[in-house]
Structure 1
Amino acid sequence: MTNNRERLFAASDVVEAGGWRAELRNDEIADISYGGIPVLRGIRAVVRDRDWQTLVPVVRAVERLPAGEGTRLVLDIEFDGFGCQYNAALSIVFSADSLVVVFEGESPADFQSNRIGLVVLHRPDDAGRDVLIGGRSGDLTPSRFPVEISPHQPFQNVASMQWQRDGVDFNLAFTGDVFETEDQRNWTDASFKTYSRPLALPFPMDVPAGSRVSQSVTLTASTGQEPQPETSRVGDLAITSDVVSVVPALSMPVASTLEPQAESGVLQGVESVLVELVAGAPKVAELAKQAAEQAKALQVPLDVRISAETPGQVPGLLQLVPTRNVARLGVFHSTSHVTEPDLWKALKSAADEAGLTTSLIAGARSHFTELNRNAHLLPSDAEALVYSITPQMHATEVPHLVESLPMQRLTARNALRISGGRPLHVGPVTLKPRFNAVSTSGGLDGTAEASCDPLQAEPFAAAWMLGSIAALSIPGIRSISYFEATGPCGISSSTGLTPAGNILSSIAAQRGRNILGTQGSRRGLVLYPVQAEDGIALYAANLTANRKTESVQLPDGTSTDLVLEPWTAIFQHIPVERRTT
């Protein structure tokens, strides 16, 4: 519980110097602004192992010093995890019109890494913004941050970047390596990321003991007038009578740990039980059997996802499930994680031979990234597309998890563009990755048990899931699958449903009902109003570390009060006499 509380209520240190303002969150310089104008999502140092796993940064000491009329911070950081260690010093100097970050790192032992050094996280609302890219040879190339999620790097060979926001010219200069930019919205991160060691170079790279890395990033601002930050009026909170979508079907995967469903933890209202059958995985037959038993107990069909290396493995995996009770059936390559043509052909043949008339789906069993990069491979005769979501591909801090929620809606809109009108089945949606989709050494390839986030059983998981459901409840989303049925990654246990389980069960019962519109906004507040037969079923979540008390105007002109504790989700029933018809 201590670790959970430290994550949910993590301390931050506000730094203000010159025109700059930023928050120091552990090792990250976050939410950087100048003269009240938002500039960058953040700057931080990262160390990633040969499987792209991010070593955990621990700040051993912070020294705060005067620097002329500005401020200098010096951080002593130790990176640790996955059998690797790395040491670094981070110097951050805030002055009148510049912010300079210098990274000096040294390896205490031999290891292999795919990336070491500074990364700059650009704001997601930079999408569509013009930017001038400076190359290593001094050339300047006009470009633009992509609006649609870019499957590949929009900027390469980056030595500098220049752009304008609210009348201020900003410039970034990089030293120590060749940098490039990727669209992290592919993984639901709320950022574009400029990083070093281009992906075109071989990886992993050997990092000998005693080897050093030195890099810097310099951010400058210049203006001939006072900055004029944009202001926006949030307005009163209100629920309107407009219908914006319908509640999608909700489902859950069977427990990967093969833990039985407890009597007190039975979840009602779900549309299906999802099971992933990976060729060569241990106990795959037992997993299929438990999924079938769970689906029978809940009187719902199975959603079967097959992962195979070769077409010949597909029929055998399909035989593990009762085909008479399969609602959807999909197939993916165990390494590329997408539906490849030969596997699709094998799936159709096996389904025909089994007399199956179920819905055949295609897409990616991993992130939206793989769907976006391999859209050309997807079969045109698939009835629907699918991809999964996890907010912790790159960062585990709670602010990053919360910021991923609007990006989930963006991936869904982009996936619907790729689908060409076909519906989407999103999931599994999990707090931590089910497997390492980019491992170079085998790693978690889907055959090993995935690790689970300790926040899974906390009210936070319910609040975050409600934010996810709200983000993904748009026309074209047919179903969403969350977490697992039981176990450490589950929504139920021997003592009953978790907070997430209670919210999921309640919303699952609203399937197909109209979702009403909302007006106004508050940071970290999620409103999900559903038009029920006898009134409004109002779900709300507080995704902040502070208690919230809000008044929400209803369609008939009256109002209802909400009181939400930090990191919690609630349900409130509003009777029909208080709702306009």
Structure 2
Amino acid sequence: MIPADNTSRFPAPARTIESGPWRLQLRGDELADIEYRGHPVLRAIRPVVRDHDWRTLAPAVEAVTFDDGGTFTLRLTVRFAGFGAEYSADLTVSFSGNDLRVTFEGTAPSDFRSNRIGLVVLHRPDDAGRDVTVSAPGGTRTESAFPADISPHQPFVDIAAMAWDRDGTAFRLEFTGDVFETEDQRNWTDASFKTYSTPLSRPYPVTVHAGDRVQQSICLTAQPAAANPGPAEQGPAEQAADAVSAEPADNVLTVRRHIQSKVPALGTSASRSAARLGVVPGLDALIVELPSDVTRASELLQPAVRQAAELGAPLDVRIAAGGGADVGPVLDLLPLGKVARLGVFSSDRHVTEPELWEELRSEAQRRGFTGTRLAGARSHFTELNRRQDVLPRDAGALTYSITPQMHATEVPHIVDSVPMQRLTARNALRIGAGKPLHIGPVTLKARFNAVSTDGAYDARTAEAMTTDPLQAEDFAAAWLLGSIAALTLPGVESVSYFEASGPRGLIADDGTPTPAFRVFEKLAALRGAGVLQVDGDVPGLVLYPVSTDAGVLLFAANLTAAPLSVAVRLEDGGAQTFDIPAWQHTTRPLG
């Protein structure tokens, strides 16, 4: 589900659409942040078109019209294009009292192969644990709940309708045009559960012929209960929840002296760039991913050894093998005395299969390797979650990778992935039963298509698919800080970000440090330092106070499209005001 790149990484501000009790944000083709009577209901409803390799054709809204004649109606004309395919669709959104209906009518102008076409619903991540009634096409109803832990497989299938209660209102979704099912997108750090069609149990891809049409509709209905109780009518639990979520009266965020966790060790990945690097104090390791082809592995290993020496860090070697016989020849290439960690993964299933693990264990032991042997997934948390039953119990640590753009490229979705990263880490720690985590590579875009049905990309396509223009922007530094803060948990020993240099790197090809490198370098040097507790919260603001020998050093980032001004104080000191522009970060001594 790798998306085609957008021409603008920072789109125009969303347009607020209001009709009766409904309000939503129109972001391109996405109906986002749907509210009823001021309360959140759904994360989004949007159309998607996937090609045969699960790549998402990029949408372009060509026309938007409004009709307020009786029933308020919004109409969008959307063209999807990318990867040699194109598609056209009309999206109609109708508001009528307590009903909101979205209709999709799409046509293929030419033949292409596709895995999915139609509407998807993104349910809010805070629906986790909420009861839901699922109705099948035949009318059978099943009582269930949105999963609290990240579900490895589809929690709901064979869906014609869904019903649940939220904020004193009963909501119902009805689907027509296809059979739907739900997956837990938190597996990929998306901040949503997704209900989509067509069921994955049906064969795919299918050939879509020129002129073929798809028609679907989703109707969201609200049935209000009695008026929501005011504070005087609330019970103790509701009053306590309100008290916890309320902002401090003086609107000042407070940094406590209590240490919550420690700055994890930070690493990065080898690159093909020739940029000369310098030593990064505190750097954990340099990841190098090696294929089982010995010639290609040798070509990738040589610059990685050079970069590791320049950075003053050991190697973290990840082998992608087709079978057990591939492991030994790659190990023969390695300077094992310079390798801190060693892992092996299936080149097509992306996890540490038992046969590969046994080969790595015996061959590494025979060669006298004394570092840490890693197991897990070289792709997403998804594969770790789904194949946790095959993970070796004697692994020294677990690993998995993160990218925020598996399903969507829009900046708001990239930002929303940050708290979901923490959730994947908590679930990985649960799966590993206390084994330490070495998370990474963490990259803005996917390093490869883990769900490809058509093999690997050629070199030119891979370069375009894996590189994001945001890499060199201030946004990447702010997002990096948010990610580090989210993954600062007991048990997370290290997190590896981006590549050392090049278009996906911390350092540009010409040797210029990126804004992200400035944050990375400072925090790498603070490895193991205490991270202090923060009381209060401002949406979109990241606060990361680190206790150092010289005092408290506060790292802050603004992950919103508007400037933020916030007052922060130490519990035993005065307040300081921080003014942070949109998508920027700052570092300042506190107190």
Distance across 1 between alignment mates of 2:548 and 2:430: 31
Corresponding letter in the other structure for 1:364: A
Task: Tell me the secondary structure at the aligned position of residue 40 of structure 1.
Answer: strand
Corresponding letter in the other structure for 1:302: L
Task: Tell me the secondary structure at the aligned position of residue 237 of structure 1.
Answer: strand
Distance across 1 between alignment mates of 2:228 and 2:15: 24
**Structure 1 residue corresponding to 2:273, chosen from 245, 259, 269:** 259
* Corresponding residue for residue 167 of structure 1: 168
* Corresponding residue for residue 203 of structure 1: 204
**Structure 1 residue corresponding to 2:578, chosen from 543, 562, 566:** 562
Tell me, which stretches of 5 or more residues in structure 2 are unaligned? 231-237
TM-score (norm 2): 0.94
**Structure 1 residue corresponding to 2:347, chosen from 324, 334, 347:** 334
Corresponding letter in the other structure for 1:208: H
Tell me, which stretches of 5 or more residues in structure 1 are unaligned? none
**Structure 1 residue corresponding to 2:481, chosen from 442, 454, 466:** 466
Change (3 A) 1:32 1:159: same
* Corresponding residue for residue 470 of structure 2: 455
Q: Is the 8 A contact 2:283 2:312 kept in 1?
A: no
Distance across 1 between alignment mates of 2:376 and 2:33: 35
Q: Does 1:45 align with 2:55?
A: no
Corresponding letter in the other structure for 2:137: R
Task: Tell me the secondary structure at the aligned position of residue 303 of structure 2.
Answer: helix
Q: Is the 8 A contact 1:36 1:227 kept in 2?
A: no
Q: Does 1:187 align with 2:200?
A: no
**Structure 2 residue corresponding to 1:475, chosen from 484, 490, 497:** 490
Q: Aligned pairs, how many?
A: 569
* Corresponding residue for residue 408 of structure 2: 395
Distance across 1 between alignment mates of 2:527 and 2:282: 8
Corresponding letter in the other structure for 1:262: R
Change (3 A) 1:425 1:355: same
Q: Is the 8 A contact 1:267 1:501 kept in 2?
A: no
Distance across 2 between alignment mates of 1:5 and 1:137: 44
Q: Does 1:499 align with 2:515?
A: yes
Q: Does 1:21 align with 2:37?
A: no
Q: Is the 8 A contact 2:9 2:470 kept in 1?
A: no
Task: Tell me the secondary structure at the aligned position of residue 305 of structure 2.
Answer: helix
Distance across 1 between alignment mates of 2:536 and 2:295: 50
Report matched runs for 1:177-326 at 5 Å: 177-226=178-227, 232-235=245-248, 236-255=252-271, 258-263=272-277, 267-280=280-293, 283-326=296-339
Corresponding letter in the other structure for 1:404: S
* Corresponding residue for residue 510 of structure 1: 526
* Corresponding residue for residue 543 of structure 1: 559
What is the Cα-based RMSD across aligned positions, in Å? Answer: 1.8
Task: Tell me the secondary structure at the aligned position of residue 484 of structure 2.
Answer: helix
Identical residues among aligned pairs (%): 54
Corresponding letter in the other structure for 2:498: F
* Corresponding residue for residue 235 of structure 2: none
Q: Spell out, residue by residue over 1:104-132, the C-alpha distance to the aligned partner (whole angstroms, 9 max, x if none).
A: 00101111100000000000000000001
Q: Is the 8 A contact 1:168 1:227 kept in 2?
A: no
Shift of 1:95: 2.0
Report matched runs for 1:62-211 at 5 Å: 62-68=64-70, 70-211=71-212
Distance across 1 between alignment mates of 2:492 and 2:407: 26
Distance across 2 between alignment mates of 1:537 and 1:287: 38
Q: Which moved more, 1:272-281 or 1:356-365?
A: 272-281
* Corresponding residue for residue 372 of structure 2: 359
Report matched runs for 1:514-533 at 5 Å: 514-533=530-549
Shift of 1:495: 4.4
Task: Tell me the secondary structure at the aligned position of residue 296 of structure 1.
Answer: helix
Change (3 A) 1:14 1:548: same
Q: Is the 8 A contact 1:340 1:377 kept in 2?
A: yes
Change (3 A) 1:319 1:226: same
Task: Tell me the secondary structure at the aligned position of residue 371 of structure 1.
Answer: helix
Q: Is the 8 A contact 2:167 2:228 kept in 1?
A: yes
Distance across 2 between alignment mates of 1:281 and 1:399: 41
Q: Is the 8 A contact 1:35 1:227 kept in 2?
A: no
Q: Which moved more, 1:446-455 or 1:24-33?
A: 446-455
Q: Is the 8 A contact 1:161 1:171 kept in 2?
A: yes
Task: Tell me the secondary structure at the aligned position of residue 246 of structure 2.
Answer: coil
* Corresponding residue for residue 35 of structure 2: 33
Shift of 1:24: 0.4
Corresponding letter in the other structure for 1:525: L
Shift of 1:300: 1.6
* Corresponding residue for residue 59 of structure 1: 61
